[in-house]
Structure 1
Amino acid sequence: MLVIESSEGDIHEEATRWLRFLAAVGKSPNTIRAYGLRLAPYLSWSVASGRDWRKVRLTDLVEWKTVVVATPCSGAKGLPRPRRPATVDAWMTAVVEFFKWAEAAAVVEPALSGLIYEPRYIAAGVYGGEQGRIRQVKVPELQARSHQETASPEWIEFPRARAVLLNLELVARDRFLVDLLFFTGLRIGEALALFRQDVHFLAENSGLGCRIRGPHIHVRSNEVLNGARAKTGPRWVPVPDRVVFSYEDYLLDRRDILGLDSNPHVFVNLYRSSRGTAMSYAGVVDLFQRISVSVSSRIRPHMLRHTRATMWLRGIDTPRLDLDTVRVLLGHASLEATSIYAHSRAEDLRAAVSNASLPGIGDEKGR
């Protein structure tokens, strides 16, 4: 069996060697065929999306898993249906097994153990034998979920809708809050928990005791006055000039209304009752209800986080970022949490494969 790596019909030497190795160690022809049919689309996708398969990263394989999950297969009467978790696992197993062989054959750098596969003890029994054994299995991020996949997060998909939101006339504080959420992907609780000392908007911040250059904010746990909190551990997030300018407008407005106030919170009540106190989530709900009326569409604070994550991953109005970078920016503990946003790239990712109907991509035969 041969594996073709391009539309010109070039043979993928390493993949073909792997299939021949499987035959030499006694794997059945059906297994070899299934592995080849599941590996070939991954290699084609890697080429089409500008990835070097020899320098594979966990983020690459997580994104490939989203392609496999999002691409429907043929069900009863030829109608498309979602791929079963067991089938997704089989597709990912083929790719991981190829890389395990490639590592052993010195085709790739020997650094994949613990990255895309890890040892697991299999207890004595049908799969573990009489005494149990250690097997090398896919890391959790590459395993299919046994339950139904999480729906793609709701985001502001249409450019005109995003433009309307960003050009909406708002008072200075509210404009800064919307800009901050939209351009940084912060959770609303993280924004409300910000203290003024967390805002480092200078080109050089060493005078603030910070070695990070350029405008950014620090997300961390503070002794808040409004019940808000940062959900995860500390991190810093860069901000664009627009956020810096809207913050300056807000500070001028705040000083005009409150004078030199001592509240450490970035966001405080200015325009209604309880002036000078920390802004609460109830105030944010009220703001976004008014925004929703103005734009004639329901907008929630977390939609701005979903929108920024999707824009980062798809390269919309910004350089495209890889999954791991987005994970860090969003403050996710694992790639699995961030991968829900990769689902929104499903059409782009499938389009990166020159022929989405490669053998095996549209059906589950030969499982």
Structure 2
Amino acid sequence: MEHVFVAERSISPSTGLKRWVVADTATYTRHAPACAFLQGLRNKGRSPNTERVYAGRLALYLNHCHARGVDWAAPSFLALSQLQQHLITEPLPPRSRRTRAWAPPRYRSRGTANAVMIVVAEFLRFSALHGLVAPATVSLLSQPKFLRFAPPGYDTGENNQWRHIQAAAFRFQITEPGYEDLTPEQIRHMIGQVPRARDKFLIALLAATGLRIGEALGLHQQDLHFLASSQMLGCTLTGPHLHVHRRLDNPNHALAKSPRSRSIPTTPELVALYTDYQHERDRVPEAAHHPMVFVNLFRPPLGRAMSYPNTKQAFERWARTAGHPARPHILRHSAATRWLRDGVDRDVVQRLMGHASPLSLQRYRHVDDTELRAAVDHLQALKEQP
């Protein structure tokens, strides 16, 4: 029987702990090095969603090696190159059994292939630290590179000695697409097209605060301080605001990316939408005492915390209704872009977004056609001055 490696979520019978593993379906055993790598992710505080994605990519790598008779711990340069090409040339399986036979095949993008190769490289380096992979194999994963154009904020050294770096050897060159954002009009139209108060509040929350979707789904009701004064709650901040905390025990596995807590001011409009949502939620008895902010109100199991997959499906429906892309991260990008265009100090935007490094803001600043026209008109006006 052919060995097939799969990524599965396991539950400990003694502790009830849930975690992702890579298992061999032929022998019903776990792949010990892959599971140890995933355990390392958990020890670093990585999110369950990251663990799930990494588990799937490890299973993909192990299956690729097994099908071609390659030792996963000792792949040659040629084997890794073949894996890189395989990732973009092998059609993906259909999304579901209902997919039409005549539907065109789907393929991974080069960006996705790069993400898979990064996981493979991290896994091989991890295994090398534990004596499972030879140093010669690790040396195949990177190659010297000279930085002709250093990224903003990068210190190249007094003699440019730090322009010589080690870059990933198996990485496709791709054009950075930049971040999409929505105009305030598009966001208002999107909110207006959504019939339910809970969903209006979720869209407006992401657009007004720049929260990541994991941060929003991980909010507890006690995190929302929507009164003019929150002193009775033991909070000294004034005005309506919310607190973002990283919790590892959320029932929907939602996790804030940053371990550092932060507070974000909110607007009266957002508070009003939350009040509407509370009236809607009060009509569902199962949701009455749940601590999470976002819960199921319209389909079973009622009262359960909203999950990542359900939220993703909801945004796909809203995008079709609105007639433009509408993903949680687009709303986050829209908030950052709006703040930067309005002249908000970059340090303030960094704090609001929860970024550890100011360099993370570089891609959020879009230049639109209006700004280009204003720059040209300004230059022409200067030339016409006597």
Instruction: Please state which band the TM-score falls in when normalised by the shorter chain.
Output: 0.5 to 0.7
Describe how 1:28-107 pairs up with structure 2 within 5 A: 86=148
Q: Does 1:206 find its partner at 2:231?
A: yes
Question: Cα offset for 1:330?
Answer: 0.5
Counterpart for residue 226 of structure 1: 252
CA contact (8 A) 2:150 2:156 kept: no
Question: Cα offset for 1:253?
Answer: 1.4
Describe how 1:111-122 pairs up with structure 2 within 5 A: none
The residue type paired with residue 251 of structure 1 is: Q
The residue type paired with residue 252 of structure 1 is: H
Percent identity, aligned pairs only? 38
CA distance in 2, matches of 1:325, 1:149: 29
Q: Does 1:153 find its partner at 2:215?
A: no
CA distance in 2, matches of 1:149, 1:294: 30
- Secondary structure, aligned partner of 1:217: strand
Question: Cα offset for 1:248?
Answer: 0.9
Describe how 1:1-367 pairs up with structure 2 within 5 A: 86=148, 150-157=176-183, 159-222=184-247, 223-232=249-258, 233-258=260-285, 261-315=288-342, 320-344=343-367, 348=371, 355=379
- Secondary structure, aligned partner of 2:349: helix
Question: Cα offset for 1:88?
Answer: 7.1
1:8-40: per-residue Cα shift (whole Å, max 9, x none)? xxxxxxxxxxxxxxxxxxxxxxxxxxxxxxxxx
CA contact (8 A) 1:202 1:215 kept: yes
Q: Normalised by the size of structure 2, how large is the TM-score?
A: 0.51
Alpha-carbon RMSD:
3.2
- Secondary structure, aligned partner of 2:330: helix
More displaced, 288-297 or 259-268? 259-268
The residue type paired with residue 180 of structure 2 is: E
Question: Cα offset for 1:162?
Answer: 2.7
CA distance in 2, matches of 1:260, 1:290: 24
Counterpart for residue 113 of structure 1: none
The residue type paired with residue 341 of structure 1 is: Y
Counterpart for residue 19 of structure 2: none
CA distance in 1, matches of 2:188, 2:279: 25
Question: Cα offset for 1:161?
Answer: 2.4
Distance 1:345 1:335, change over 3 A: farther
Counterpart for residue 81 of structure 1: none
1:196-220: per-residue Cα shift (whole Å, max 9, x none)? 1100001001111111111111011
Question: Cα offset for 1:345?
Answer: 6.3
Question: Cα offset for 1:314?
Answer: 1.0
Distance 1:121 1:176, change over 3 A: same
Structure 2 gap ranges (5+): 1-145, 164-172, 381-386
CA contact (8 A) 1:218 1:236 kept: yes
